[in-house]
Structure 1
Amino acid sequence: MSVLAAFTVTSDDFLLAWTLERVPEMRIEIERVAVEDESVTPYFWASGEDFEGFEAALDDDPTIEGSVTLEDHGDQRLYQVTWKRNARGIVYAVSEVDATILQATSDGTDWSVELLFPDDGAVSAFQDYAATHDLSFELRWLHDSAHPEAFGQYEVTDEQREALVTAYRQGYFSVPGEVSLGELADELDISKNAASARLHRGYANLVENTLIHDE
């Protein structure tokens, strides 16, 4: 049975430590992390009021080879970063045991990370890897997943799920719609652009992992 776990990880052992030290007021949410042949490529959303300072920090970050802005929704932007660093971080441990990062958000100092492990053996292998490479993390909770398909297969984050479920219950998807995007955003207590971005990312994950997953 798959296992869900939540950790607190320092930026030094996860991602973007140098950048976040310079712009700690920016909030980062990992969309996904691709690890291939020792190369780490994070895709993440950034929100806050200092995008100019944040992008300048990314340009100067010695661990980053380059960054690209993929989407801009005003108060939230999606970035792709090419990693330069070869050090073994938590993301390498995640890749090594075939775990999935469900959600990862930064408060400027530490990361709150939720992972889905394929089984108990993967959890043990993850712990061994972290110990061998002197990586530190604080385990917040760990339990079996009764419905792993809702996370590992569909890859819908908690925030995306909240937006989709709220939209459904409020009648946003009805024809004609019972609430506007602005009203839905108010219900979620986020901006209109952020609500639109969460819905679109949630749609994409659901379609990719249900309708075209078998293809």
Structure 2
Amino acid sequence: MSTIAEIELPAEEFALYETLTAFPDAHFEVVRMAAHEEKLTPYVQVSGDDLSGITTALEADPTVSEAHLVDDLEKEKLFRMNWEGNVDVVLHMVGEEAAAVVEMHGRDTHWQLRILFPNRASLSSTSSFCEENELSFTVRNVYDLQQSAGRGGFGLSEDQYETLVVAAEKGYFDVPRSVTMEELADSLGISQQAVSERLRRGHRALINSALRPDESTIGS
């Protein structure tokens, strides 16, 4: 049974610790990521009121081997980076446990991740890996996707639940992806737009139910 885990990692044992602590009020979000052997290549969106000097900080960060500015707005910048060094835990989850990184947010001294595991055993294996390698790995919440089907649990509709599960099984959330949205749409017998809407609304329902239980799920 597919499992979603909300995980916290200390930046000091992972990536961008020096940059995050230098910009404690900025928000770092990984919007896309690929894994290659011993490094990660994420696209990171950085948001904040004062981002002056952020490029210099990234270039000096020991966990960043490359940082290219892709888009530059006044209070928001998008970088393509290469992370090396302390990224073993994510490489293990993606490479060894066939897990998928659904969300990754960094701020101040920590990273918050939402990981889709194939089952609870793969989550347990990741926890054991971190313990053996003396890495911090804090699990804040764990949910089984089946619990969120239909009217219960996360409040997913049957269509949203089916699309999320099929996407996970076929590797849509893998890094890199094993299936395109077009191929996913063909397997479900619906349009790409319908797949996109189901994924977007499904993610919103998961977030509202798991992280914002007091918020309305209207529009999900």
Would you say the 8 A contact 1:3–1:117 is kept in 2? yes
**Runs of at least 5 residues in structure 2 that lack an aligned partner in the other structure:** 147-160, 187-220
Distance 1:151 1:106, change over 3 A: farther
Distance 1:134 1:25, change over 3 A: same
Give runs of aligned pairs for residues 62-81 of structure 1, distance below 5 A.
62-81=62-81
Say whether 1:108 aligns with 2:79: no
Would you say the 8 A contact 1:7–1:139 is kept in 2? yes
Would you say the 8 A contact 1:28–1:45 is kept in 2? yes
TM-score, scaled to structure 1: 0.67
Distance 1:58 1:151, change over 3 A: farther
Give runs of aligned pairs for residues 30-109 of structure 1, distance below 5 A.
30-85=30-85, 87-95=86-94, 96-109=96-109
Instruction: Provide Cα deviations, 1:1-42, integer angstroms capped at 9, x if missing partner.
Output: 100110121112332112112121210011133222112212
CA distance in 1, matches of 2:33, 2:130: 18
- Residue in structure 2 matched with residue 119 of structure 1 by the alignment: 119
Distance 1:81 1:88, change over 3 A: closer
Would you say the 8 A contact 2:15–2:63 is kept in 1? no
Say whether 1:150 aligns with 2:121: no
Would you say the 8 A contact 2:2–2:165 is kept in 1? no
- Residue in structure 1 matched with residue 12 of structure 2 by the alignment: 12
Say whether 1:135 aligns with 2:106: no
Instruction: Report the identity percentage.
Output: 25
Would you say the 8 A contact 2:40–2:87 is kept in 1? no
Counterpart code for 1:15? A
Distance 1:45 1:148, change over 3 A: farther
- Residue in structure 1 matched with residue 182 of structure 2 by the alignment: 211
Q: What's the offset of the Cα at 1:151?
A: 7.5
Q: Cα RMSD (Å) of the superposition?
A: 2.7
SS at structure 1 position matched to 2:134:
coil
Would you say the 8 A contact 2:48–2:76 is kept in 1? yes
Distance 1:136 1:39, change over 3 A: same
Instruction: Provide Cα deviations, 1:110-162, integer angstroms capped at 9, x if missing partner.
Output: 11111100122211221121111111122111111133743882879xxxxxx
CA distance in 2, matches of 1:12, 1:148: 38
Would you say the 8 A contact 1:23–1:53 is kept in 2? no
Distance 1:209 1:139, change over 3 A: same
Say whether 1:28 aligns with 2:28: yes
SS at structure 1 position matched to 2:44:
strand
CA distance in 2, matches of 1:78, 1:33: 13
CA distance in 1, matches of 2:7, 2:79: 23
Q: What's the offset of the Cα at 1:62?
A: 2.0
Distance 1:81 1:112, change over 3 A: same
- Residue in structure 1 matched with residue 218 of structure 2 by the alignment: none
CA distance in 1, matches of 2:2, 2:41: 25
**Runs of at least 5 residues in structure 1 that lack an aligned partner in the other structure:** 157-204
Q: What's the offset of the Cα at 1:74?
A: 3.5
